[in-house]
């Protein structure tokens, strides 16, 4: 079998990771690969646009932005004659199938090619443009699409390749605007991409705490600008020093005409007397190196695409990520549904368009509307207070959780206090009122503004907490943190008989870089840590120069290998050493042999990602010395312990958005629990079904207490793929 691969339409970060995965997974199965340059135009043009790929063709491209294959928009391919040329070139190159990485347009083209295949063959054979035997009983052309679009507007996937990176780029830019806007008390109008899809605008607004958002899916009231101006005025009156309005390029007035940046500026000038500044982010949103999430997404989808092509089912499909797993959807359905949404928007049926985007999209819009308020919609009602606290060690995204929980609860009239420095602070009465405007600028701050330190409660302190509950009339608690926090909550549950004050509902919100908690597929903070780690490894790779050197990079994770595994896959590391494996000499020897053969085959550098606590006996320095001793002169070994830089810096878009979702959920749920007079202890998490809360004891059944990690860890199934992709090139390559 021989397959072709193209990237087509608008380029997006992560396309290179997909090209690498498709190529290497195919070669690994004995399938030949032809890289076709310049999208569909390259298929139409043929000739030197077709480049046979070997293992090395896709080496060193994981961290590169853009696409090494180039991409194009092709008018030729839109016409049947153009597609006929494409078929001729594919047949003459003996290509049996294709992987097409691109947006709706590119995949529509792929579907057409599939449908017309047999007809083109017959016509081409009649013209003697292809050998006659190729047109006889032809097998269907095999096509698999991968969603490549920064807009995240494709049906059949929760995330398209490029969206996470673009979102982070926007968030980083708006963070910068926020700081200058604040200094000058300015109003900024930021235009982001999205002709028919408001994903980037909406999610970046949630992630940056923007004050107003305009998206194509929302039906604009004819008086939308009055509402906007009133809201901004209220914000300023409440003490906000600046305003940021994010709008998608495709936002429209109620009559369907596009809303332009200049219009917004003019409205603000006329009605508020402010000189707003416009920032059009434009193509920077497409550029840059892909985030680790993106790279892993693209790698997993690419592998699944090859699997489909290697199988017997000739149905053309798109492989997307649905509930965190690669899933195929027929290309017919993908194209039809994507076109349906576009048609709804073009004809002004906004409600249907919003419904087709799915519930979490509509929920995010609703959430943003609440968070952007200048003040809560109602005064504090006489329902006691809830306490919010963050337990140590801190994790990026904790502030997003607390900020959102506070605003959602206060909006419902629920009074909220913050316990400083976790349960230890609560015991000492270090409690303070937090108000709506106190959390205004928190969304992009790393660490925890409330303070988060590790602290093991003594029996005496538990009694003191009971006193504080009485003193502050606490009716519920939101405990944000990691394993330590969950353990302290256990102590509070166990002490309930002694201290009846402790019989109040408690909700735990998972926030730790280690991603080692049960009840959730991901913890808040892990995405930022992963991003920090992969960033560091990308840099380490550049320092290797011409030396034959292996780097052992030690990362966080406690006894959970998530960070090591995800970082290894995202950085193309040669191997990962996890506590889950249980290190022993045998294993190490095998690993070292793999490294040695890699260097013998010409590798200049190798990365080994090692989880801290991978073994109680072998630390990273010991492993380094063993490796060096066994390297037999093929390579040297160095160790880098990343340490606390992993939890530093500003949180990623993912941690801010998911943190906000969890914070909102926890606040609503605790209010419900209080109203129902219950005293349950619950653990929130992000699961396939969405955000959920599970009783504490039930969650702990999924936890391996001895090894301090969840019993089931889906990321362990990534290993085969990560190892395949990082294999050294075969010693003989044509």
Catalytic residues: 151
**What does 249-293 look like in DSSP terms, one character per residue?**
TT-B-TTSPBPPHHHHHHHHHHHH----EEEE-GGGGG-SPPPHH
Select 10 or 14, whichever has its Cβ closest to ligand ADP.
10
Across 559-596, b (16+ Cβ under 10 Å) vs e yields: bbbbbbbbbbbbbbbbbbbbbbbebeeeebeebbebbb
User: Smallest distance from the beta carbon of 61 to ligand ADP, in angstroms?
Assistant: 20
> Residue 310 has which token pair?
């290697």
User: Smallest distance from the beta carbon of 130 to ligand ADP, in angstroms?
Assistant: 21
User: How far does CA 405 lie from the centroid of its chain?
Assistant: 22
Q: Which residue's CB comes closest to ligand ADP?
A: 105
User: Smallest distance from the beta carbon of 336 to ligand ADP, in angstroms?
Assistant: 12
Alpha-carbon distance of 686 to 699, in angstroms, equals 13
User: Smallest distance from the beta carbon of 76 to ligand ADP, in angstroms?
Assistant: 7
User: Smallest distance from the beta carbon of 253 to ligand ADP, in angstroms?
Assistant: 25
Select 57 or 108, whichever has its Cβ closest to ligand ADP.
108
Q: Which residues contact 89 (CB under 8 A, 6 or more apart)?
A: 43, 44, 45, 46, 50
Closest CA to 512 of 653, 603, 401, 436: 401
User: CA of 314: how far to CAs of 115, 121, 331, in Å?
Assistant: 12, 17, 12
Select 77 or 618, whichever has its Cβ closest to ligand ADP.
77
Select 151 or 580, whichever has its Cβ closest to ligand ADP.
151
Alpha-carbon distance of 73 to 214, in angstroms, equals 28
> Residue 21 has which token pair?
């995965």
Select 338 or 399, whichever has its Cβ closest to ligand ADP.
338
Contacts with ligand ADP by CB under 6 A lie at 8-10, 40, 73-74, 77-78, 102-106, 108-109, 112, 149
Alpha-carbon distance of 132 to 583, in angstroms, equals 59
User: Smallest distance from the beta carbon of 730 to ligand ADP, in angstroms?
Assistant: 34
What beta strand segments (E) does 103-173 contain? 142-147
Alpha-carbon distance of 232 to 264, in angstroms, equals 13
User: Smallest distance from the beta carbon of 87 to ligand ADP, in angstroms?
Assistant: 13
In the sheet where 385-390 sits, what is the strand order? 431-433, 415-419, 385-390, 474-481, 506-510, 681-687, 690-695
Closest CA to 53 of 79, 27, 71: 27
What beta strand segments (E) does 95-141 contain? 97-102
């Amino acid at each position: 079998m021989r397959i072709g691969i193209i990237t087509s339409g608008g380029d997006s970060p992560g396309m290179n990771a997909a090209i690498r995965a498709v190529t290497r997974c195919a070669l690994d199965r004995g399938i030949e690969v032809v890289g076709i340059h310049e999208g569909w135009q390259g298929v139409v043009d043929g000739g030197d646009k077709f480049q046979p790929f070997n293992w090395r063709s896709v080496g060193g491209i994981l961290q590169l932005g853009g696409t090494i294959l180039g991409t194009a928009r092709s008018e030729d391919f839109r016409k049947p004659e153009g597609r006929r040329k494409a078929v001729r070139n594919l047949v003459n190159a003996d290509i049996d199938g294709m992987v097409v990485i691109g947006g709706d347009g590119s995949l529509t083209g792929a579907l057409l090619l599939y449908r017309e295949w047999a007809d083109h063959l017959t016509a081409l054979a009649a013209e003697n443009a292809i050998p006659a035997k190729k047109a006889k009983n032809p097998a269907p052309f095999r096509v698999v699409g991968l969603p490549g679009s920064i807009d995240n507007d494709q049906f059949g996937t929760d995330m398209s390749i490029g969206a996470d990176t673009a979102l982070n780029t926007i968030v980083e830019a708006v963070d910068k605007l926020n700081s200058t806007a604040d200094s000058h008390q300015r109003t900024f109008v930021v235009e982001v991409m999205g002709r028919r899809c408001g994903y980037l605008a909406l999610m970046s607004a949630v992630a940056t705490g923007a004050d107003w958002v305009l998206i194509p899916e929302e039906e604009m009231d004819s008086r939308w600008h009055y509402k906007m101006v009133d809201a901004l005025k209220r914000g300023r009156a409440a003490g906000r020093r600046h305003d940021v309005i994010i709008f998608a390029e495709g936002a429209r007035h109620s009559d369907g005409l596009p809303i332009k940046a200049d219009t917004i500026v003019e409205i603000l000038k006329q009605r508020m007397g402010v000189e707003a500044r416009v920032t059009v982010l434009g193509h920077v949103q497409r550029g840059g190196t892909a985030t680790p999430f993106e790279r892993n997404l693209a790698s997993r989808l690419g592998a699944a695409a090859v699997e489909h092509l290697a199988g017997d089912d000739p149905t053309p499909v798109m492989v997307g990520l649905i509930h965190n797993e690669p899933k195929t959807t027929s290309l017919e359905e993908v194209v039809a549904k994507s076109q349906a949404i576009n048609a709804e928007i073009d004809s002004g049926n906004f409600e249907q368009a919003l419904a087709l985007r799915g519930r979490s999209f509509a929920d995010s819009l609703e959430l943003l509307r609440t968070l952007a308020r200048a003040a809560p919609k109602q005064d504090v009602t006489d329902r006691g207070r809830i306490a919010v606290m963050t337990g140590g060690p801190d994790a990026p995204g904790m502030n997003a959780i607390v900020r959102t929980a506070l605003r959602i609860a206060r909006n419902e009239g629920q009074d909220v206090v913050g316990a400083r420095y976790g349960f230890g602070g609560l015991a000492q009465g270090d409690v303070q009122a937090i108000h709506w405007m106190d959390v205004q600028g928190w969304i992009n701050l790393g660490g925890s503004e409330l303070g988060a330190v590790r602290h093991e409660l003594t029996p005496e302190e538990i009694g003191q907490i009971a006193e504080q509950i009485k003193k502050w009339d606490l009716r519920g608690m939101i405990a944000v943190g990691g394993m330590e926090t969950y353990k302290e909550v256990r102590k509070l549950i166990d002490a309930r008989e002694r201290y009846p004050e402790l019989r109040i509902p408690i909700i735990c919100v998972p926030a730790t870089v280690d991603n080692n908690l049960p009840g959730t597929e991901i913890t808040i903070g892990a995405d930022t840590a992963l991003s920090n780690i992969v960033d560091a490894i990308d840099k380490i790779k550049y320092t290797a120069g011409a030396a034959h050197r292996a780097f052992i990079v030690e990362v966080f994770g406690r006894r959970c290998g998530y960070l090591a595994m995800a970082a290894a896959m995202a950085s193309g590391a040669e191997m990962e050493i996890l506590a889950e494996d249980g290190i022993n000499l045998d294993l190490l020897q095998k690993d070292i042999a793999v490294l040695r053969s890699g260097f013998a085959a010409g590798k200049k550098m190798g990365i080994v990602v090692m989880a801290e606590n991978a073994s109680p006996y072998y630390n990273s320095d010991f492993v380094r010395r063993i490796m060096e001793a066994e390297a037999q002169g093929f390579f040297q070994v160095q160790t880098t312990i990343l340490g606390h830089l992993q939890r530093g810096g500003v949180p990623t878009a993912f941690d801010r958005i998911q943190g906000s979702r969890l914070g909102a959920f926890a606040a609503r749920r605790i209010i419900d629990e209080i109203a129902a007079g219950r005293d349950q202890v619950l653990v929130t998490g992000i699961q396939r079904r969405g955000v959920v809360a599970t009783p504490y004891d039930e969650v702990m059944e999924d936890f391996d207490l001895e090894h301090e990690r969840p019993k089931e860890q889906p990321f362990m199934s990534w290993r085969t793929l990560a190892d395949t992709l990082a294999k050294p090139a075969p010693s003989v390559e044509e």
